Amino acid sequence: MLAILADRTYRHLFLAQIVALLGTGLATIALGLLAYDLSGERAGLVLGTIFTIKMVAYVGIAPIAGAFANRWPRRKMLVSLDLIRAAVALCLPFVSEVWQVYILIFVLQSASAAFTPTFQATIPDILPEEDRYTRALSLSRLAYDLENIISPTLAAILLIFVSYQTLFFGTVIGFAAAALLVVSVLLPNPQPAAPRGIYDRTTRGMRIYLATPRLRGLLSLNLAAAAAGAMVLVNTVVLVRSDLGLGETQVAIALGAFGGGSMLAAILLPRLLDNRPDRPVMIGGAAVLVASLLGLSLLSLVYGIQWAPLLVGWLIVGIGYSTVLTPSGRLLKRSAHAEDRPAVYAAQFALSHACWLVTYPLAGWMITVAGPTIAFASLALLAATGMVGGVFLWTQNDAGTIEHTHSDLPDDHPHIRQGRSHSHPIVIDDYHPHWPRA
């Protein structure tokens, strides 16, 4: 897996991702402390609003940014967005009102909503071979999981010596370092695209996404991953502190078990995907999520919440979670031409976060009003809905050649040189606006 780091361009982008993630992790911890400083007992409400603003920015801004990402040089765009994020982080230590935090967070997350899909769409242009790209996806997953472990540890060490406001300066350094790493390499410019109107550009990624069976299946599987992930991320602190009566260290250990399972799957997936198609692997990962949540629900009903089963359950949930999400970039790459990739990656970014916008509040509400057993069962049911949707929406043969007929193209069109009826792998584009019926 680490062999792809020999590619200088990818190595610098990967390092840029790591330092930006560390900076974001420090900002997340500092934001919690800032919210408490500004609002005291209402800090939970403030943080809930901040996370809602984050999701709204992701869902609303990403498709618009994706529509224009292929009109600007990639390197300039990525560096500019990193510098915007650094500037916002630089302002956060000096705020004195909650509304100022809301505005700055919206700007910061809007920049992230434009940056992340564009960054993700750049990687397959640098690593066009599918086996190398798969390993890049696994490394990216590992980076996210390691950030969940390293950022809190680094923050805890820094807070011994400095105030929480100083953590925001760490965020500034992270984004600035990421910008320098991006500047240090040459990135492929966007593929030239046909002139399109604003509405067409803005909706193109969504239209391609929703017209492609494998991506509709991916969206459904994203719902399964979000259901299980929300149960872990929202309710771990409640299960450990309230139900088990344990301390903050045990909260970190439980979240570490989830991250450890995710990292284990990310390490094993490249070899697994070398020999097996994405569809059964990802649907199998969703089945693991459903089974683990149902198992925890049953155990909590019979024995109550117990520490060892919770750790094992979170480890298994982490494995299923990463198995569903890590290969998704392969599907996106396969489902769009190079000039449409930024828009399609932006659609995935927006739609997947729309799933989280549903599951985050649902997970918190269910455990509050009905307790952990019902919360586990409810999120398992939602994950099962996503898994079943993935089975039915993602047809098994959609990656192969498909026989279809073009009745709408003129006789001299180059695409029908081999005849109006022909077969080839389908990608939704101007010649194939709809998926052919079997």
Question: Residue 173 has what pLDDT?
Answer: 92
Tell me the mean pLDDT in the region 8-23: 88
Residue 316, amino acid? I
Average pLDDT over residues 135-160: 75
pLDDT digits (tens, 9 = 90+) for 44-80: 567 667 777 888 888 888 777 766 666 677 788 889 9
Strongest mean pLDDT among 10-14, 140-144, 222-226: 222-226
Is residue 186 over pLDDT 90? no
Rounded Cα distance between 106 and 102, Å, is: 6
pLDDT at res. 181: 92
What is the predicted pLDDT for the residue at 149?
Answer: 66
Q: Which of 25-29, 255-259, 362-366 has the lowest mean pLDDT?
A: 25-29
Domain 207-395 - what CATH class? mainly alpha
Q: How confident is the model over 290-311, as a mean pLDDT?
A: 94
> pTM for the full model?
0.83
Return the pLDDT at 136: 83
Lowest mean pLDDT among 124-128, 152-156, 323-327, 343-347: 152-156
Rounded to whole angstroms, the maximal C-alpha distance in the chain is 74
Reading the block at residue 73, the tokens are 């040089």
Residue 222 has pLDDT above 90, yes or no: yes
Q: Does the pLDDT of residue 428 top 90, yes or no?
A: no
Residue 27 is inside which H or E element, if any? Answer: helix 8-39
Q: Are 101 and 38 in contact (CB under 8 A)?
A: yes
Which one-letter DSSP state was computed for residue 41?
Answer: G
pLDDT of residue 390: 95
Q: Please give the C-alpha separations between residue 17 and each of 11, 152, 154, 226, in angstroms, as whole numbers.
A: 10, 17, 17, 22
What is the DSSP secondary-structure string of 270-314?
A: HHHHHHS-HHHHHHHHHHHHHHHHHHHHHHHHHH---HHHHHHHH
pLDDT at 97: 86
> Whole-angstrom Cα distance, residue 232 to residue 60?
26
* Highest CATH level, class, for 1-190: mainly alpha
How does DSSP classify residue 160? H
CA dist 229 and 398 (Å) reads: 28
The encoded tokens of residue 305 equal: 């919440």
Residue 329 pLDDT grade (very low, low, confident, very high; cuts 50, 70, 90): confident
User: For residues 59 and 194, what is the distance between their CA atoms, to the nearest angstrom?
Assistant: 26
**What is the chain's mean pLDDT, rounded?**
83
State the alpha helices, DSSP H only, in 69-197. Answer: 74-91, 98-126, 130-161, 165-183
Q: Do 1-190 and 207-395 have matching folds?
A: yes
For residues 80-105, one letter each, b for 16 or more C-beta atoms within 10 angstroms of the residue's C-beta and e for the rest, the string is: ebbebbbbbbbbbbebeebeebeebb
Domains of the chain by residue range: 1-190, 207-395
In the chain, pLDDT over 90 holds for what percent of residues? 24
In the predicted structure, residue 43 carries a pLDDT above the cut 70: no
**pLDDT exceeds 80 at position 270:** yes
Q: Convert the pLDDT of each residue in 360-370 to its tens digit.
A: 888 888 888 88
Copy the structure tokens of residue 399: 């990656």
Query: Which has the higher per-residue pLDDT, 202 or 374?
Result: 374
Burial class of 425 by CB neighbour count within 10 A (0 to 12, 13 to 18, 19+)? exposed
In this prediction, residues 132-155 reach a mean pLDDT of 76
Q: How much is the pLDDT for 217?
A: 95
| pLDDT value of residue 70 | 65
Residue 337 DSSP label: -
177 three-class SS:
helix
When pLDDT is averaged across residues 269-292 and rounded to a whole number, the result is 92
Question: Residue 38 and residue 116: Cα distance in Å, rounded?
Answer: 30
What is residue 384's predicted lDDT score, i.e. its pLDDT?
A: 97
For residue 344, what are its two tokens?
A: 């399609």
